[in-house]
Amino acid sequence: MEIKLNKINCISGMIEVPADKSITHRAVMLSSLAEGNSVVRNYLPSDDCSRTIEAFRQMGAEIKIDDDDLYIKGAGLKLTSPHSGKYDIYAGNSGTTTRLLSGILAGQNFETVITGDDSLSKRPMQRVIEPLSKMGADIKSNDGLLPLIIKGKNPLKAINYENDKSTAQVKSAVLFAGLYADGATTYRESVKSRDHSERMLKAFGADVSVDGNSVTICPAERLTAQDVTVPGDISSAAFFIAAALIVPGSNLIIKNVGVNPTRDGLIEVLKQMGADIALTNMREVSQEPVCDIVVKYSRLRAINIDASLVPRMVDEIPVFVLIATQAQGVTKVSGAKELRVKESDRIETVTSQLKKLGAQVESLEDGFIINGDSGFNLAGAVVDSFEDHRIAMTLAVASLIAKGETVINDSHCVDISFPGFYKSLKDICR
Ligand code: S3P
């Protein structure tokens, strides 16, 4: 399905973005593993999160959807085998479902198969297979790719694991497996990745301690049901922040956005570039910092971003590259090789599609070089999302400043993380 979008005058008003995808996945998982009745308020009803909900329903959790909330009767740490049909668990497009679930399945007394769509079937799984095999799980794959056949073991062996990659999905898989281990499991990473799992595990009663970039978890006999409220997703807010910053005359308030310090790299970088962004009404909701964001059109200066910052804005880099096409000077992004193994090869897809709109962007093996002086010359064209939600949304924001009409092919994929994206965008366009 294609969508046709046109240049607009400005962005203004007040909006709320959908709930955080990472936090929704974790809330469904831990509520399903807990004993008792949990409530997940303001969950994200997106395709990816539905895959996690379905998987845990198959394994014994009772999950009722009531408007924006989930009522979950947990199955306890020992799940029931999901045997139904040929393939046991279908993870769709969701890397988070697959990798986090692998950690939980590693500690079960049954065998499970995880499959996914074409994009997920090309994404690397060796990164979870390796630590979980060290812990004693028997995992077979198609040469590091899906399908994963996971034969769990209980108890697993506690390990000390060091990862030179910054990845919250692998960290979370090891921590979840650590719940089923025979002693304390420690995971250490070079640059801290998002820490939603650590925060939520503690809230559900797990014994978790954090020391810099190192996390230790002790085995658990049980987790206790919680009432979790999910904040708005900063990775979804990023598209509206970008729109307000690059469309002249814009002024926007985005309410209820999670600003966990492991996720707020985009805001820090934009402020350094001269962006007029204010965080107001700062508060804490279910162990996560939350605020309202006020953002106004700004003349921006180019900047350099490297591996020390990338993990804090990894999902925002596609839209950041678009913003950089509007900043004075040359921006360089390096240390972002991970983008090559996301829902699409985002270094290639961002570069090729923004070029179609007239931007001066070159790809590097691990990033981008963006010449901002091309900024005012974007022009509409026919572009492809490559079925990658964040590419579709980046191109939709680009269309707001591109002369003429932009046609985005396979535009529906925004439902992976942001159902209703095009309507929300339309509501604030003047
Ligand atoms: C996620 C972690 C990140 C991120 C993804 C969600 C998570 O992936 O890109 O969208 O919820 O843990 P990596 O762990 O591969 O960096």
Separation of alpha carbons 21 and 50, rounded Å:
11
Q: Which residues lie with the beta carbon below 6 Å from any ligand 1 atom?
A: 22, 96, 167-169, 172, 194, 314-315, 338
Nearest to 259 by CA among 243, 283, 228, 242: 283
Same domain (yes/no): 261, 221: no
Percent of the chain predicted with pLDDT > 70: 98
What are 330's strand-pairing partners?
A: 371
Boundaries of domain holding 256: 2-19+231-428
Q: Which helix (H) or strand (E) holds 282?
A: strand 276-285
**218: three-class secondary structure by DSSP:** coil
pLDDT tens digits along 114-132:
999 999 999 999 999 999 9
Residue 84: what pLDDT? Answer: 60
Is the distance from CB of 404 to CB of 7 less than 8 angstroms?
Answer: yes
> Does residue 422 contact residue 12 with C-beta atoms inside 8 Å?
no
- pLDDT tens readout for residues 163-192: 999 999 999 999 999 999 999 999 999 999
User: Which of the following is catalytic: 47, 195, 315, 384?
Assistant: 315
Domain end, chosen from 172, 205, 229, is at: 229
Residues 237, 17: contact at Cβ < 8 Å? yes
Q: Using CA positions, which residue lies closest to atom 15 of ligand 1?
A: 167
pLDDT (tens digit, 9 = 90+) per residue, 301-316? 999 999 999 999 999 9
Centre of ligand 1 to C-alpha 99, Å, is: 10
Examine the domain organization and report whether 103 and 153 are in the same domain.
yes
- Per-residue burial over 227-264, b if 16 or more Cβ lie within 10 Å, else e, is ebbbbbbbbbbbbbbbbbbbbeebebbbbbbbbbebbb
The CB-side HSE value for 181 (13 A sphere, CA atoms) comes to: 28
Nearest CA, atom 10, ligand 1: 315
Q: Are residues 90 and 120 in the same domain?
A: yes
Encode pLDDT of 59-100 as tens digits: 999 999 999 999 999 999 999 998 765 568 999 999 999 999
What residues does 89 pair with on adjacent strands?
114
CATH of the domain at 300: 3.65.10.10
- Reported as type and span, the H/E element at residue 140 is strand 138-142
How far is it, in rounded angstroms, from Cα 111 to Cα 153? 10
**Peptide bond preceding 147 in cis form (omega within 30 of 0):** yes
Q: How far is the CA of 390 from the centre of ligand 1 (A)?
A: 13
| pLDDT computed for residue 83 by the predictor | 74
| Nearest residue by C-alpha to atom 9 in ligand 1 | 315
- The closest-lying atom of ligand 1 relative to the alpha carbon of residue 197 is 12
pLDDT digits (tens, 9 = 90+) for 187-244: 999 999 999 999 999 999 999 999 999 999 999 999 999 999 999 999 999 999 999 9
CA of 104 to the centre of ligand 1 (A): 17
pLDDT in tens, 387-403: 999 999 999 999 999 99
Which of 181, 209, 229 is the last residue before a domain boundary? 229
pLDDT at 373: 77
**Atom of ligand 1 at shortest range from CA of 311:** 16
Note whether 204 and 270 are same-domain residues.
Answer: no
The percentage of the chain sitting over the pLDDT mark of 90, rounded to a whole number, equals 97
Closest ligand 1 atom, residue 168 Cα? 14
Q: Up-side HSE of residue 234: CA atoms within 13 Å toward CB?
A: 26
Place of tokens 């339309």: 426
Does 114 lie in the same domain as 85? yes
Nearest CA to ligand 1 atom 11: 22
Looking at the structure, do residues 177 and 265 belong to the same domain, yes or no?
no
**Angle value at C-alpha 284, between 280 and 286, nearest 5 degrees:** 145
* Residue 163 and residue 71 share a domain: yes
Confidence band for 375, pLDDT divided at 50, 70 and 90? low
Which of the listed residues 229, 262, 289 is the one where a domain comes to its end? Answer: 229
21 Cα–ligand 1 center, Å: 10
Q: Kindly report the length of the chain.
A: 430
Token reading at 83: 């045997």
Cβ count within 10 A of residue 391: 28
So what's the pLDDT on residue 115?
Answer: 96
**Shared-domain flag, residues 225 and 235:** no
pLDDT classification of 377: cutoffs 50, 70, 90: confident
d(Cα 285, Cα 270) in Å, to the nearest integer?
25
Whole-model pTM above 0.75? yes
Neighbours of 183 (CB within 10 A): 12
CA of 235 to the centre of ligand 1 (A): 11
- Pairwise CA distance, residues 365 & 94, whole Å: 25
pLDDT digits (tens, 9 = 90+) for 152-161: 999 999 999 9
In this prediction, residue 206 carries a pLDDT of 99
Determine if the peptide bond prior to 124 is cis (ω within 30°). no
**How many folded domains does the chain comprise?**
2
Helix H or strand E encompassing 47: helix 47-58
Q: Based on the domain organization, do 191 and 290 belong to the same domain?
A: no
315 assigned to active site = yes
Instruction: Say if residue 6 is in the same domain as residue 32.
Output: no
Same domain? 200 vs 256: no
Cα separation, 381 vs 248, whole angstroms: 21
pLDDT at 360 over 80: yes
Average pLDDT over residues 13-36: 98
How many angstroms separate the CA atoms of 169 and 177, rounded? 12
Give 295's contacts (C-beta < 8 A, 6+ positions apart).
240, 241, 244, 245, 250, 251, 252, 254, 275, 276, 277, 278
Q: What is the Cα Rg of the chain in Å? A: 21
429 C-alpha to ligand 1 centroid (Å): 30
Please report the atom of ligand 1 found closest to the CA of residue 25.
11
The secondary structure of 290-313 as a DSSP string is EEEEEEE---EE--EE-TTTGGGG
- The verdict on 397 and 275 lying in the same domain is yes
User: Which ligand 1 atom lies nearest to the CA of residue 235?
Assistant: 10
User: Measured between alpha carbons, how far is 347 from 364 in angstroms, rounded to an integer?
Assistant: 8
